[in-house]
Amino acid sequence: MPARKHRTGEELEAWEARKAAHQVRMLIARETVKSLTGHTLLHLDEAAAMLGITKKSLRELEARARETGSYFPARVTLGQKITGFRLADMNALVESGMAPAPADELADA
């Protein structure tokens, strides 16, 4: 059950404020990385959406690439709980043809 479901009143407001503050910190972290390195970082869900797959499938692709030694963009770690993928690396993955085929192509097969 999501954390917001069992909170009410002031407790819910405090939780929402912490969540908003966390989102601001993440935005600042992303902008800092971009200004220092010139790279844009994607969160896991953004990278998965870019490839047209779920976060679970993205994690599975990552694990399979580690096991087989095949190429998959490495995650960039900014902190204990802050990781992402470089946008340029994900674009290269898509350009290389490693991204899954669109659903309409799969239906034709």
Q: Is 26 helix (H, G, I), strand (E, B) or coil?
A: helix
The Cα 12–Cα 15 span in angstroms is 5
- Order of strands across the sheet that contains 83-86: 41-42, 83-86, 76-77
DSSP state of 5: G
Model confidence pLDDT, tens digit, residues 63-74: 988 888 888 888
Domain boundaries, the chain: 1-38, 39-101+103-107
Model confidence pLDDT, tens digit, residues 31-77: 776 777 777 888 888 888 888 889 999 999 889 888 888 888 888 88
pLDDT band at 101; cut points 50, 70, 90: very low
